[in-house]
Structure 1
Amino acid sequence: MNKKLLALAVFLCTIMSFTACMNDKDDDDNVSDEWKTYNNKLVNEVASNSVYSARASMSGNGSVYWKSVDDFIQDETSTASPSTKITESGTPYMTDSVAIRYEGWFYLLDGTKYTFDSTEGDKNGIPFRTRVNSGLVDGFVTMLQYMRKGDQVEVCIPYLLGYGTSGFYNSGVQVIPGYTTLWFRMKLMDIYPNNPDEWNK
């Protein structure tokens, strides 16, 4: 066989092998099986711990697991205003805005806690004000809808109610891998109605 044909045959075999490998891969190839298994294990441990209660998401994608805490934020700093919502249930609707203090983290494979966002520390405990339906992850919204002003909770959010299989990117850099179990400690400081006159009807 001449050298050109041999080189062409080797090249075609290489391309075919590469294509076959690419077709076997799915969208989450950057996430190892070890990471997926580890995060599933974390959720299962929390779900079987009687200290935590399950709260089903309205999206139908699963449940968050939560417990009350009183050691997160000790001060009673509030952003109270005349428009603070007082309702029979005392919990926010999807169209309401809230002021919250929180810390969000996940665990690395070696068990190290990695805090990815917080209103504490260098942000001096300044509450974050946002609308409930403004793009927060499903599990965070699920928990918020059952909290009253002053409630403090720790919540475990499985990946389907967090950043899913894709993870979270900031400026093109992946900050949170896909399949990551999230934890938050949250304190609901205030609830602001979407329409200040909605309670005068």
Structure 2
Amino acid sequence: MNIRYIHNALAATCFALAAVAGLASCSETNDDENEFADWQNKNETYFNNLYSSASSQGLKVIRNWSFNDGVATHNFDNIVVEVLKSGTGSGSPLYTDSVRVHYQGRLLPSKTYTQGLVFDQSWSGEFNPQTAKPSTRLVSQNVDGFATALMNMHIGDHWLVYIPYQLGYGTTGSSSGGIPGYSTLVFDITLDSYFRPDATVPGAQAKAGRWITE
């Protein structure tokens, strides 16, 4: 699912051909630049438009978790959520909790990936809720936008979450996921359950506690 970058051998061949034929250059990043041309502008415009029209489209705007009771002063201080299904669970995960989630992460549509590049997901093949095994992860180990969504979800919630790059992988992106800088992240997330550590037991963060499933 990662974006393919030109291998060193191909780059060396390209350089040699350029030297022989008098070509200007052959860059390892040309394909990537063409795939995500004008990427910052596209992503900023898309998220700003989505944020501005959220109320009229019945979408939720949720302030980044780190603001607590502070005031979010920019559009990118928030995530935008489309609720696909409301769960029945009570309570929500805390930043110090672990969660079990089904998720898929995409980028906005690009030249080759007309539905958006899928850079990560918790299942293989077609999603089947009866057989798919949720991913177990710490809330605190996710990018801010993903963590913010989790901390506002109830068990059984199924959300489509739009995360501005400022609350995602920033201006540099993530090479391991093939995510270029300035990428708005679109996550399909279903919260299965969460683990609440027992704070009364010393050193219990990862061992003592209980999984909350309803």
> Secondary structure in 2 aligned to 1:55?
strand
Which whole-Å CA distance do the structure 2 matches of 1:45 and 1:125 have between them? 34
Q: How does 1:47-196 map to 2 (within 5 A)?
A: 47=51, 48-49=53-54, 50-60=57-67, 62-70=77-85, 90-110=91-111, 111-122=114-125, 125-133=132-140, 135-170=141-176, 175-195=178-198, 196=208
Consecutive unaligned residues in structure 2, runs of 5 or more:
1-32, 68-75, 199-207
Q: What RMSD, in angstroms, separates the aligned Cα atoms of the two structures?
A: 2.6
Taking structure 1 as reference, are residues 155 and 121 closer, same or farther at Cα in structure 2, changes over 3 Å only? same
Contact 1:46 1:52 in 2 (8 A): no
1:121 positional shift: 2.8
Give the structure-2-normalised TM-score. Answer: 0.62
Q: Which secondary structure does the structure 1 equivalent of 2:50 belong to?
A: helix
Q: Take 1:62 and 1:104, find their aligned partners in 2: how far apart are those partners?
A: 20
Deviation at 1:44, TM superposition (A): 1.9
Relative contact order, higher structure (CA 8 A, sep 6+):
1
Deviation, structure 1 residue 191: 1.0
- Counterpart CA distance in 2 for 1:197 and 1:41 is 44
Distance of 1:43 and 1:130 partners within structure 2: 27
Does the CA-based 8 Å contact 2:99-2:138 persist in structure 1? yes
Cα deviation, residue 42, structure 1: 1.3
Among 35, 39, 42, the alignment partner of 2:39 is: 35
Name 2:17's counterpart in structure 1.
none
- Whichever residue aligns with residue 63 of structure 1, its letter is N
Q: Given residue 103 of structure 2, which amino acid in structure 1 is its aligned partner? A: Y
| Equivalent-residue separation in structure 1 for 2:121 and 2:107 (angstroms) | 12
Structure having the higher Rg = 1
CA drift of 1:59 comes to 3.0
The answer on whether the counterparts of 2:100 and 2:191 sit within 8 Å (CA) in structure 1 is yes
1:45 aligns to 2:60 (yes or no): no
Q: Percent identity?
A: 30
Query: Structure 2: which amino acid aligns with 1:53?
Result: K
**Whole-Å Cα distance in 1 between the matches of residues 46 and 163 of structure 2?**
10
Give ranges in structure 1 of 5+ residues lacking alignment: 1-29, 71-85
Aligned residues: 149
Question: For residues 112 and 67 of structure 1, what CA distance do their matches in structure 2 show?
Answer: 17
